[in-house]
């Protein structure tokens, strides 16, 4: 039992080789969902989290708004903060005034004042009346100040010259389009490589090894040759050669104005 969630079911999974255990908590009963399905969903969630980490670190994809900040030319109109502050003070004084009047009335009607001498009643009453008149004068002064203030002003006028900034989304959209295109292109290359590499869970690391492999770039007879260094792992080496053949079958060219034909190969 858990105080916030009620009855909770625990499923313990154990790795086959290291014998390490991990617990999964769920409020689904065995009749609603079996253990194998819970484990499958949890592993899929871990895969999604790793996918998000890959997008953030490798492709620099994030959803924070705008990289470019620009100053707004014409500052917007906002409520005058001085008016708000004065109204707050006036409300406090009005509450204190009401309390002072009630207190004064209670003291006048109390038995203690009825039995006291006239001098005591006069002195205490004058002090209370003085407090009431002082608060009424303060409220009157605040009302006069409010009448002289504008209800709405420009933002920079309201906050001592500070100016609002706007985010330029156009450049971010353009950059994000390139990032998403690169990410989709990488996924497509992974699907091609999967035809020649027998470990689906390792397809992205294997593709990274191929794409980040050092090599030579040389222009020969009007063709730009990209020659990668060979791989020590024979399975990676064979998959890389086959991937190069498939890419060459697409007749790629350089994206510049020369449009040189590209040829990928492994030394």
d(CA 160, CA 149): 16
Which region, left, alpha or beta, applies to residue 87 given φ > 0 means left and ψ of -120 to 50 means alpha?
alpha
State residue 125's pLDDT score: 63
The answer to whether the CB of 173 falls within 8 A of the CB of 195 is: no
Residue 138: which of 174, 184, 86, 189 has the closest Cα? 86
Q: What is the CA radius of gyration of the chain?
A: 38
How confident is the model over 148-184, as pLDDT tens digits?
A: 888 888 888 888 878 888 777 777 788 888 888 888 8
Token pair of 49 as six digits: 């989290």
Contacts of 43 (CB under 8 A, 6+ apart): none
Question: Which residues of the chain carry a pLDDT beneath 50?
Answer: 111, 113
Phi, psi of 31 (to 5 degrees): -70, -30
Residue 192: which of 265, 249, 234, 230 has the closest Cα? 249
């Amino acid at each position: 039992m858990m105080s916030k969630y009620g009855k909770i079911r625990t499923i313990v999974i154990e790795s086959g080789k290291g014998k390490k255990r991990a617990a999964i908590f769920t409020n689904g009963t065995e009749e609603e969902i079996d253990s194998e399905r819970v484990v499958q969903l949890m592993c899929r969630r871990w895969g999604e989290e790793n996918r998000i980490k890959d997008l953030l670190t490798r492709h620099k994809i994030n959803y924070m708004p705008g990289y470019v900040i620009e100053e707004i030319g014409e500052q917007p109109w906002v409520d005058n903060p001085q008016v708000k502050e004065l109204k707050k003070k006036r409300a406090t004084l009005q509450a204190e005034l009401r309390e002072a009047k009630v207190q004064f009335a209670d003291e006048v009607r109390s038995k203690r004042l009825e039995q006291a001498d006239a001098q005591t009643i006069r002195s205490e009453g004058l002090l209370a009346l003085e407090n009431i008149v002082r608060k009424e004068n303060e409220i009157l002064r605040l009302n006069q100040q409010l009448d002289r203030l504008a209800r709405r002003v420009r933002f920079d006028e309201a906050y001592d010259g500070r100016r609002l900034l706007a985010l330029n989304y156009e450049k971010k959209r353009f950059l994000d389009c390139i990032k998403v295109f690169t990410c989709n292109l990488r996924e497509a290359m992974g699907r091609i490589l999967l035809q020649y590499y027998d470990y689906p869970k390792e397809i992205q690391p294997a593709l990274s090894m191929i794409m980040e492999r050092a090599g030579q770039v040389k222009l020969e007879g009007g063709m730009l040759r990209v020659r990668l260094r060979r791989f020590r792992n024979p399975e990676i080496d064979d998959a890389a050669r086959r991937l190069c053949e498939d890419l060459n079958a697409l007749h790629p060219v350089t994206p510049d104005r020369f449009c040189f034909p590209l040829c990928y190969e492994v030394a």
